[in-house]
Structure 1
Amino acid sequence: MGIFIFAGAAQFMAIGLLTAHAGLLEIAVSTFILNSRHLFFGLSLLTRYRATGLKKFYLIFGLTALFMVLVIEQWKKIREPFPFIVAGVCALVALLFVKEQMLLVAIGLSIIVLALRYRSERDVA
Protein backbone atom coordinates (compact mmCIF):
# COMPACT_ATOMS: atom_id res chain seq x y z
CA MET A 1 0.00 0.00 0.00
CA GLY A 2 2.94 2.32 0.70
CA ILE A 3 3.83 2.32 -2.99
CA PHE A 4 0.50 3.88 -3.95
CA ILE A 5 -0.25 5.99 -0.89
CA PHE A 6 2.46 8.39 0.30
CA ALA A 7 0.83 9.37 3.60
CA GLY A 8 0.66 7.17 6.66
CA ALA A 9 -2.63 8.69 7.80
CA ALA A 10 -4.17 7.80 4.45
CA GLN A 11 -2.94 4.22 4.77
CA PHE A 12 -4.67 3.84 8.12
CA MET A 13 -7.80 5.47 6.73
CA ALA A 14 -7.74 3.20 3.67
CA ILE A 15 -7.57 0.11 5.87
CA GLY A 16 -10.62 1.28 7.82
CA LEU A 17 -12.49 2.07 4.64
CA LEU A 18 -11.58 -1.26 3.05
CA THR A 19 -12.79 -3.18 6.09
CA ALA A 20 -16.03 -1.19 5.90
CA HIS A 21 -16.37 -2.35 2.27
CA ALA A 22 -16.06 1.17 0.86
CA GLY A 23 -15.60 1.45 -2.87
CA LEU A 24 -12.40 2.57 -4.56
CA LEU A 25 -13.97 5.90 -5.51
CA GLU A 26 -14.81 6.66 -1.87
CA ILE A 27 -11.30 5.69 -0.81
CA ALA A 28 -9.73 7.84 -3.52
CA VAL A 29 -11.85 10.89 -2.69
CA SER A 30 -11.25 10.48 1.06
CA THR A 31 -7.50 10.12 0.49
CA PHE A 32 -7.45 13.23 -1.69
CA ILE A 33 -9.34 15.25 0.91
CA LEU A 34 -7.16 13.99 3.76
CA ASN A 35 -3.95 14.77 1.90
CA SER A 36 -5.09 18.11 0.49
CA ARG A 37 -3.46 19.69 3.54
CA HIS A 38 -0.12 18.98 1.87
CA LEU A 39 -1.15 21.24 -1.01
CA PHE A 40 -1.23 24.15 1.40
CA PHE A 41 2.10 23.16 2.94
CA GLY A 42 3.59 22.90 -0.53
CA LEU A 43 2.15 26.21 -1.71
CA SER A 44 3.63 27.95 1.30
CA LEU A 45 7.06 26.63 0.30
CA LEU A 46 7.01 27.76 -3.34
CA THR A 47 8.68 31.09 -2.67
CA ARG A 48 11.11 29.65 -0.15
CA TYR A 49 12.42 27.08 -2.64
CA ARG A 50 12.17 29.28 -5.73
CA ALA A 51 15.93 29.22 -6.43
CA THR A 52 16.29 25.43 -6.15
CA GLY A 53 15.19 24.70 -9.72
CA LEU A 54 13.71 21.26 -10.32
CA LYS A 55 14.59 20.17 -6.78
CA LYS A 56 11.73 22.43 -5.69
CA PHE A 57 9.16 19.86 -6.78
CA TYR A 58 10.88 17.08 -4.87
CA LEU A 59 11.19 19.24 -1.76
CA ILE A 60 7.51 20.08 -1.85
CA PHE A 61 6.45 16.49 -2.68
CA GLY A 62 8.69 15.09 0.03
CA LEU A 63 7.14 17.29 2.67
CA THR A 64 5.90 15.14 5.49
CA ALA A 65 5.30 17.43 8.41
CA LEU A 66 5.26 14.92 11.24
CA PHE A 67 8.39 13.10 10.11
CA MET A 68 10.34 16.29 9.66
CA VAL A 69 9.23 17.66 13.01
CA LEU A 70 10.29 14.45 14.75
CA VAL A 71 13.68 14.40 13.04
CA ILE A 72 14.37 18.07 13.73
CA GLU A 73 13.29 17.84 17.36
CA GLN A 74 15.38 14.71 17.86
CA TRP A 75 18.41 16.44 16.34
CA LYS A 76 17.91 19.50 18.56
CA LYS A 77 17.74 17.27 21.62
CA ILE A 78 20.74 14.97 21.09
CA ARG A 79 22.96 16.75 18.52
CA GLU A 80 24.49 13.40 17.55
CA PRO A 81 24.42 11.89 14.05
CA PHE A 82 24.74 8.25 15.17
CA PRO A 83 20.99 7.44 15.47
CA PHE A 84 20.33 8.98 12.05
CA ILE A 85 23.17 7.01 10.47
CA VAL A 86 21.88 3.82 12.12
CA ALA A 87 18.39 4.47 10.77
CA GLY A 88 19.70 5.07 7.25
CA VAL A 89 21.92 1.98 7.24
CA CYS A 90 19.18 -0.21 8.70
CA ALA A 91 16.73 1.07 6.10
CA LEU A 92 19.18 0.29 3.31
CA VAL A 93 19.88 -3.21 4.69
CA ALA A 94 16.17 -3.90 5.05
CA LEU A 95 15.50 -2.61 1.54
CA LEU A 96 18.19 -4.84 0.07
CA PHE A 97 17.23 -8.02 1.91
CA VAL A 98 13.56 -7.77 2.94
CA LYS A 99 11.76 -5.45 0.52
CA GLU A 100 8.28 -6.65 1.46
CA GLN A 101 8.72 -5.79 5.15
CA MET A 102 11.32 -3.04 4.80
CA LEU A 103 9.87 -0.55 7.27
CA LEU A 104 9.20 -3.08 10.02
CA VAL A 105 12.64 -4.68 9.66
CA ALA A 106 14.41 -1.29 9.52
CA ILE A 107 12.67 -0.10 12.68
CA GLY A 108 13.43 -3.39 14.45
CA LEU A 109 17.10 -3.32 13.45
CA SER A 110 17.42 0.32 14.50
CA ILE A 111 15.92 -0.41 17.91
CA ILE A 112 18.25 -3.38 18.43
CA VAL A 113 21.39 -1.45 17.42
CA LEU A 114 20.50 1.61 19.48
CA ALA A 115 19.54 -0.50 22.50
CA LEU A 116 22.84 -2.38 22.32
CA ARG A 117 24.75 0.89 22.12
CA TYR A 118 22.83 2.33 25.04
CA ARG A 119 23.48 -0.83 27.05
CA SER A 120 27.22 -0.76 26.31
CA GLU A 121 27.43 2.95 27.25
CA ARG A 122 25.53 2.28 30.47
CA ASP A 123 27.84 -0.62 31.38
CA VAL A 124 30.92 1.53 30.81
CA ALA A 125 29.63 4.40 32.94
Structure 2
Amino acid sequence: MSPTSAWKEAGKLTLPVMFGYLPLGAAYGILAVEVGMPWWAALLMSLIIYAGAGQFLAVALLAAGAGLMELAVATLMLNSRHLFYGLSLLKRFQGAGWRKPYLIFALTDETYSLITTLPTEHGNDHGLAFRVSLLNQIWWVLGTIAGVLAGTTLAFNSQGIEFALTALFIVLTLEQARRLRRWLPFAIALFTGLGGVLLLPDRHLLLGAIGAASLILLFHYRLGRDRETTP
Protein backbone atom coordinates (compact mmCIF):
# COMPACT_ATOMS: atom_id res chain seq x y z
CA MET A 1 0.00 0.00 0.00
CA SER A 2 1.37 3.41 -0.97
CA PRO A 3 1.90 6.05 1.75
CA THR A 4 -0.91 8.17 0.29
CA SER A 5 -3.35 5.23 0.36
CA ALA A 6 -2.28 4.36 3.90
CA TRP A 7 -3.00 7.90 5.15
CA LYS A 8 -6.31 7.96 3.27
CA GLU A 9 -7.33 4.73 4.98
CA ALA A 10 -6.42 6.14 8.39
CA GLY A 11 -8.28 9.34 7.55
CA LYS A 12 -11.46 7.40 6.78
CA LEU A 13 -11.19 5.50 10.05
CA THR A 14 -10.78 8.71 12.05
CA LEU A 15 -13.71 10.56 10.45
CA PRO A 16 -16.07 9.90 13.42
CA VAL A 17 -13.41 11.23 15.80
CA MET A 18 -12.73 14.23 13.56
CA PHE A 19 -16.39 15.27 13.67
CA GLY A 20 -16.21 15.09 17.46
CA TYR A 21 -12.73 16.47 18.08
CA LEU A 22 -13.03 19.58 15.93
CA PRO A 23 -16.03 21.04 17.84
CA LEU A 24 -14.82 19.59 21.14
CA GLY A 25 -11.33 21.02 20.70
CA ALA A 26 -12.92 24.33 19.75
CA ALA A 27 -15.04 24.20 22.91
CA TYR A 28 -11.91 23.64 24.98
CA GLY A 29 -10.12 26.53 23.24
CA ILE A 30 -13.03 28.89 23.81
CA LEU A 31 -13.37 27.97 27.48
CA ALA A 32 -9.62 28.26 28.05
CA VAL A 33 -9.59 31.79 26.64
CA GLU A 34 -12.73 32.74 28.59
CA VAL A 35 -11.14 31.82 31.93
CA GLY A 36 -8.08 33.93 31.15
CA MET A 37 -5.61 31.34 29.89
CA PRO A 38 -3.19 32.67 27.24
CA TRP A 39 -3.96 31.31 23.78
CA TRP A 40 -0.49 29.82 23.45
CA ALA A 41 -0.87 27.93 26.74
CA ALA A 42 -4.17 26.44 25.61
CA LEU A 43 -2.57 25.32 22.36
CA LEU A 44 0.52 23.99 24.14
CA MET A 45 -1.69 21.82 26.36
CA SER A 46 -3.22 20.21 23.29
CA LEU A 47 0.24 19.53 21.86
CA ILE A 48 2.11 18.15 24.87
CA ILE A 49 -0.68 17.02 27.24
CA TYR A 50 -3.51 16.01 24.86
CA ALA A 51 -5.89 14.73 27.50
CA GLY A 52 -9.34 15.74 26.25
CA ALA A 53 -11.51 15.63 29.34
CA GLY A 54 -8.41 16.23 31.45
CA GLN A 55 -7.86 19.55 29.69
CA PHE A 56 -11.45 20.61 30.41
CA LEU A 57 -10.88 19.65 34.04
CA ALA A 58 -7.62 21.62 34.17
CA VAL A 59 -9.32 24.72 32.77
CA ALA A 60 -12.14 24.46 35.32
CA LEU A 61 -9.76 23.97 38.25
CA LEU A 62 -7.45 26.78 37.17
CA ALA A 63 -10.46 29.08 36.85
CA ALA A 64 -11.45 28.12 40.40
CA GLY A 65 -8.00 28.99 41.71
CA ALA A 66 -6.87 25.42 42.41
CA GLY A 67 -3.20 24.73 43.13
CA LEU A 68 -0.87 22.53 41.11
CA MET A 69 -1.13 19.67 43.61
CA GLU A 70 -4.92 19.68 43.45
CA LEU A 71 -4.75 19.81 39.67
CA ALA A 72 -2.29 16.91 39.52
CA VAL A 73 -4.33 14.68 41.84
CA ALA A 74 -7.62 15.41 40.08
CA THR A 75 -6.08 14.74 36.66
CA LEU A 76 -4.54 11.49 37.90
CA MET A 77 -7.91 10.33 39.23
CA LEU A 78 -9.71 11.26 36.03
CA ASN A 79 -7.19 9.62 33.71
CA SER A 80 -6.56 6.52 35.83
CA ARG A 81 -8.86 4.65 33.46
CA HIS A 82 -5.96 4.64 30.99
CA LEU A 83 -4.26 2.07 33.22
CA PHE A 84 -6.91 -0.40 32.11
CA TYR A 85 -6.55 0.68 28.48
CA GLY A 86 -2.80 0.13 28.61
CA LEU A 87 -3.08 -3.33 30.12
CA SER A 88 -5.40 -4.46 27.34
CA LEU A 89 -2.95 -3.22 24.68
CA LEU A 90 0.25 -4.82 25.97
CA LYS A 91 0.30 -7.48 23.27
CA ARG A 92 -1.00 -5.23 20.53
CA PHE A 93 1.83 -2.71 21.01
CA GLN A 94 4.58 -5.34 21.11
CA GLY A 95 7.07 -4.78 18.30
CA ALA A 96 5.87 -1.24 17.61
CA GLY A 97 9.45 0.02 17.78
CA TRP A 98 9.92 3.79 17.53
CA ARG A 99 6.16 4.26 17.25
CA LYS A 100 5.46 2.84 20.71
CA PRO A 101 6.18 5.97 22.82
CA TYR A 102 3.81 8.05 20.72
CA LEU A 103 1.14 5.32 20.67
CA ILE A 104 1.24 5.36 24.49
CA PHE A 105 1.18 9.16 24.69
CA ALA A 106 -1.70 9.55 22.20
CA LEU A 107 -3.96 6.87 23.71
CA THR A 108 -7.20 8.77 24.26
CA ASP A 109 -10.60 7.15 24.78
CA GLU A 110 -11.54 7.65 21.14
CA THR A 111 -8.20 6.41 19.79
CA TYR A 112 -8.46 3.34 22.00
CA SER A 113 -11.93 2.69 20.62
CA LEU A 114 -10.66 2.85 17.03
CA ILE A 115 -7.48 0.80 17.60
CA THR A 116 -9.30 -2.00 19.39
CA THR A 117 -11.95 -2.28 16.66
CA LEU A 118 -9.71 -2.16 13.60
CA PRO A 119 -10.76 -4.60 10.86
CA THR A 120 -9.36 -8.07 11.56
CA GLU A 121 -7.29 -8.12 8.36
CA HIS A 122 -5.03 -5.42 9.82
CA GLY A 123 -4.10 -7.41 12.91
CA ASN A 124 -1.43 -5.60 14.92
CA ASP A 125 -0.73 -3.02 12.21
CA HIS A 126 1.42 -0.58 14.17
CA GLY A 127 1.74 1.74 11.19
CA LEU A 128 -2.02 2.10 10.90
CA ALA A 129 -2.39 2.56 14.66
CA PHE A 130 0.27 5.28 14.56
CA ARG A 131 -1.45 7.11 11.69
CA VAL A 132 -4.82 6.89 13.43
CA SER A 133 -3.33 8.23 16.68
CA LEU A 134 -1.52 11.09 14.95
CA LEU A 135 -4.54 12.14 12.88
CA ASN A 136 -6.74 12.14 15.98
CA GLN A 137 -4.34 14.53 17.73
CA ILE A 138 -4.22 16.70 14.62
CA TRP A 139 -8.04 17.00 14.67
CA TRP A 140 -7.87 17.97 18.36
CA VAL A 141 -5.16 20.57 17.79
CA LEU A 142 -7.00 22.06 14.80
CA GLY A 143 -10.14 22.31 16.92
CA THR A 144 -8.16 24.01 19.68
CA ILE A 145 -6.74 26.53 17.20
CA ALA A 146 -10.25 27.31 15.94
CA GLY A 147 -11.46 27.69 19.53
CA VAL A 148 -8.75 30.07 20.68
CA LEU A 149 -9.21 32.16 17.54
CA ALA A 150 -12.96 32.32 18.13
CA GLY A 151 -12.49 33.02 21.83
CA THR A 152 -10.17 35.94 21.20
CA THR A 153 -12.16 37.53 18.37
CA LEU A 154 -15.84 36.70 19.02
CA ALA A 155 -18.21 37.21 21.93
CA PHE A 156 -20.94 34.63 22.43
CA ASN A 157 -22.54 32.41 25.08
CA SER A 158 -20.69 29.08 25.17
CA GLN A 159 -22.88 27.46 27.84
CA GLY A 160 -23.43 23.77 27.15
CA ILE A 161 -20.78 23.45 24.46
CA GLU A 162 -18.85 20.92 26.57
CA PHE A 163 -21.67 18.39 25.91
CA ALA A 164 -19.82 17.56 22.68
CA LEU A 165 -17.62 15.22 24.77
CA THR A 166 -20.61 13.21 25.98
CA ALA A 167 -22.07 13.07 22.48
CA LEU A 168 -18.79 11.73 21.08
CA PHE A 169 -18.62 8.99 23.71
CA ILE A 170 -22.16 7.91 22.81
CA VAL A 171 -21.33 7.69 19.10
CA LEU A 172 -18.17 5.64 19.73
CA THR A 173 -20.00 3.28 22.09
CA LEU A 174 -22.67 2.62 19.47
CA GLU A 175 -19.97 2.05 16.85
CA GLN A 176 -18.20 -0.48 19.06
CA ALA A 177 -21.46 -2.26 19.79
CA ARG A 178 -22.22 -2.50 16.07
CA ARG A 179 -18.80 -3.94 15.26
CA LEU A 180 -18.28 -6.29 18.20
CA ARG A 181 -21.86 -7.61 18.45
CA ARG A 182 -21.22 -8.74 22.01
CA TRP A 183 -23.76 -7.52 24.53
CA LEU A 184 -22.04 -8.49 27.81
CA PRO A 185 -19.38 -5.71 28.06
CA PHE A 186 -21.97 -3.03 27.30
CA ALA A 187 -24.48 -4.50 29.75
CA ILE A 188 -21.79 -4.53 32.46
CA ALA A 189 -20.82 -0.94 31.62
CA LEU A 190 -24.46 0.17 31.83
CA PHE A 191 -25.04 -1.68 35.10
CA THR A 192 -21.90 -0.39 36.83
CA GLY A 193 -22.36 3.12 35.47
CA LEU A 194 -25.92 3.39 36.77
CA GLY A 195 -24.85 1.81 40.04
CA GLY A 196 -22.10 4.39 40.42
CA VAL A 197 -24.51 7.26 39.75
CA LEU A 198 -26.95 5.96 42.36
CA LEU A 199 -24.53 4.84 45.07
CA LEU A 200 -21.31 6.85 44.82
CA PRO A 201 -20.42 10.53 45.27
CA ASP A 202 -19.33 12.36 42.14
CA ARG A 203 -15.64 12.35 43.04
CA HIS A 204 -15.58 8.54 43.28
CA LEU A 205 -18.02 7.72 40.50
CA LEU A 206 -15.54 7.09 37.67
CA LEU A 207 -13.08 4.94 39.59
CA GLY A 208 -15.86 3.06 41.36
CA ALA A 209 -17.63 2.21 38.10
CA ILE A 210 -14.39 1.17 36.38
CA GLY A 211 -13.32 -0.92 39.35
CA ALA A 212 -16.68 -2.67 39.60
CA ALA A 213 -16.75 -3.39 35.84
CA SER A 214 -13.20 -4.78 35.99
CA LEU A 215 -14.05 -7.09 38.89
CA ILE A 216 -17.14 -8.41 37.10
CA LEU A 217 -15.17 -9.02 33.90
CA LEU A 218 -12.38 -10.78 35.83
CA PHE A 219 -14.97 -12.95 37.59
CA HIS A 220 -16.57 -13.79 34.23
CA TYR A 221 -13.16 -14.64 32.76
CA ARG A 222 -12.27 -16.86 35.73
CA LEU A 223 -15.64 -18.58 35.53
CA GLY A 224 -15.06 -19.31 31.85
CA ARG A 225 -11.58 -20.72 32.56
CA ASP A 226 -12.96 -22.95 35.31
CA ARG A 227 -15.60 -24.32 32.92
CA GLU A 228 -12.94 -25.08 30.32
CA THR A 229 -10.79 -26.99 32.80
CA THR A 230 -13.69 -28.91 34.36
CA PRO A 231 -13.88 -32.43 32.84
Tell me the TM-score normalised to structure 1 length.
Answer: 0.50
Instruction: Tell which has more relative contact order, 1 or 2 (C-alpha 8 A, sep 6+).
Output: 2
